[in-house]
Amino acid sequence: MRRPVRALSFAIVLASALALAGCSSDSSPTSPPSCIPLTGQYAGVFTDSCGLSTTEDVTLFQTGCTLVAEFPGVGSVQGSVSGGTLVFAIGFSGFSPCGGSASGSATLTPSGGLIGHYSGETTGTGTTCCGNVTGAFTLTRR
């Protein structure tokens, strides 16, 4: 009778070891990146090389690692969040007197806001449509 008890004990120890091995963290390249949640309302300060200088309220919407927003007077934003970094594209048409697009990035601040920059090209005849454009913004969480 000792043999079945010993075999059962061995099976329990082996099953426990396999279960614990399954609890290890997966850091493989196929595991999804962590996404800091950014959904919420912010006070935004925007400036650019074409003369834009404005303060506007901004709401960010995030699903998974994808973020969308409208920066009033600037453009429509769509981007991807990875850790504390947002990489995005801005479409200027429809939300400013200019057309065109830009791309940029932003980083999370210690207070939960974002500081970012972008560059691209504006098109159109408005006074803020100057061709090549670089811009910066600060979003402070409300």
Question: What is the tally of structural domains in the chain?
Answer: 1
Residue 124 placed within a domain: yes
| 122/127 Cα distance (integer angstroms) | 11
Residue 6 placed within a domain: no
| 116/135 Cα distance (integer angstroms) | 8
pLDDT of residue 10: 38
- Please give the DSSP secondary-structure letter assigned to residue 28: -
CATH number at 125 reads 2.40.128
| 79/118 Cα distance (integer angstroms) | 12
- Which domain, by its residues, includes 81? 40-141
pLDDT of residue 21: 37
Residue 24 placed within a domain: no
Residue 14 placed within a domain: no
Count of CB atoms within 10 A of residue 76's CB?
Answer: 17
pLDDT of residue 17: 37
* Pairing between β-strand 40-48 and β-strand 132-141 as defined by DSSP bridges: antiparallel
| 72/52 Cα distance (integer angstroms) | 11
Per-residue confidence in pLDDT tens, the chain, 142 aa: 554 444 433 333 333 333 333 433 344 455 455 889 999 999 999 999 988 899 999 999 999 999 999 998 888 999 999 999 999 999 987 666 789 999 999 999 999 999 999 999 999 887 778 899 999 999 999 9
pLDDT of residue 32: 53
pLDDT of residue 84: 92
- Please give the DSSP secondary-structure letter assigned to residue 103: E
pLDDT of residue 93: 77
The reply to whether the predicted model has a pTM over 0.85 is no
